[in-house]
């Protein structure tokens, strides 16, 4: 019961709307019954509560990272910077983010930047070199090469295709 108190788990969470735990326990006669009762009524419910909490925390952390990417994709955003802003270890964040999204941080950041590039190519007159700069490419050729590798066509061809289609 000390573990429950220290972790903020209430008795009602593991034993909702049932009679007194003590009364139930006193009705048991063998060590096997008592052991089974503890596993069923205390240990397994607590494990489930801790697992649910962990999943909620992972989801929350991943949402915060996604929010940082969506607001700072056009900066030199790194996992280490996210870790510093969110007050977590970068390795922990990396592990949590991959478990939650199935992508590494850098893969997600790259995908989001490509999504923005495609949006700008379709919906704006922004020059390709300006898009490359805004997405933190050192030079436009690197952006064009990456774009062609991912999309099979150059950014200019993509823009033309979207405009004519």
CATH number at residue 126: 1.10.10.60
| 68/18 Cα distance (integer angstroms) | 45
| For residue 9, pLDDT beyond 80 | no
Query: Would you say residue 5 lies in a domain?
Result: no
**What pLDDT band is residue 41 in, cutting at 50, 70 and 90?**
confident
Q: Are 46 and 9 in contact (CB under 8 A)?
A: yes
Query: Would you say residue 136 lies in a domain?
Result: yes
Q: Are 86 and 93 in contact (CB under 8 A)?
A: yes
Q: What's the total number of domains in the chain?
A: 2
Give the mean pLDDT of 120-141.
94
pLDDT of residue 44: 92
**Domain span holding position 137:** 108-164
pLDDT of residue 10: 67
pLDDT of residue 12: 66
Q: Over 55-77, what HEC string results?
A: HHHHHHHHHHHHHHHHHHCCCCC
Compute, in degrees rounded to 10, the torsion defined by CA atoms 114, 115, 120, 121.
70
How many helices and strands (H and E) does the chain possess?
11, 0
Give the mean pLDDT of 26-52.
91
Query: Would you say residue 4 lies in a domain?
Result: no
| 24/34 Cα distance (integer angstroms) | 10
Do 68 and 42 fall within a single domain? yes
> Quick one: DSSP state of residue 23?
H
pLDDT of residue 109: 96
pLDDT of residue 19: 65
**Nearest by Cα to 2 from 42, 51, 56, 55:** 42
Give the mean pLDDT of 148-154.
93
Query: Would you say residue 28 lies in a domain?
Result: yes
Q: Are 94 and 105 in contact (CB under 8 A)?
A: yes
Among residues 86, 102, 118, the one where a domain terminates is 102
3 vs 157, more confident: 157
For 57-110, the pLDDT digits (tens) are: 999 999 999 999 999 999 999 999 999 999 999 999 999 999 999 999 999 999
> Quick one: DSSP state of residue 126?
-
Among residues 66, 85, 102, the one where a domain terminates is 102
Do 116 and 91 fall within a single domain? no
Query: Would you say residue 27 lies in a domain?
Result: yes
**What pLDDT band is residue 21 in, cutting at 50, 70 and 90?**
confident
Give the mean pLDDT of 139-148.
94
Chain mean pLDDT for the chain: 90
Query: Would you say residue 113 lies in a domain?
Result: yes
| 121/113 Cα distance (integer angstroms) | 12
Cα Rg for the chain, rounded, in angstroms? 26
Do 126 and 85 fall within a single domain? no
Query: Would you say residue 1 lies in a domain?
Result: no
């Amino acid at each position: 019961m000390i573990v429950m108190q220290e972790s903020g788990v209430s008795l009602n969470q593991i034993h909702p709307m049932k009679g007194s735990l003590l009364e139930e326990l006193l009705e048991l006669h063998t060590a096997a019954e008592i052991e089974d009762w503890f596993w069923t009524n205390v240990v397994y419910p607590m494990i489930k509560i801790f697992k649910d909490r962990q999943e909620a925390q992972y989801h929350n952390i991943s949402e915060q990272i996604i929010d940082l990417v969506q607001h700072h994709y056009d900066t030199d955003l790194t996992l280490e910077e996210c870790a510093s802003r969110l007050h977590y270890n970068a390795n922990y964040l990396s592990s949590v983010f991959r478990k939650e999204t199935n992508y590494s941080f850098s893969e997600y950041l790259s995908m989001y930047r490509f999504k923005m590039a495609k949006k700008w190519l379709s919906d704006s007159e922004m020059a390709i070199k300006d898009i490359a700069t805004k997405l933190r490419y050192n030079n436009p050729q690197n952006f064009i090469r990456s774009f062609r590798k991912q999309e099979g066509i150059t950014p200019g061809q993509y823009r033309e295709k979207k405009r004519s289609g």
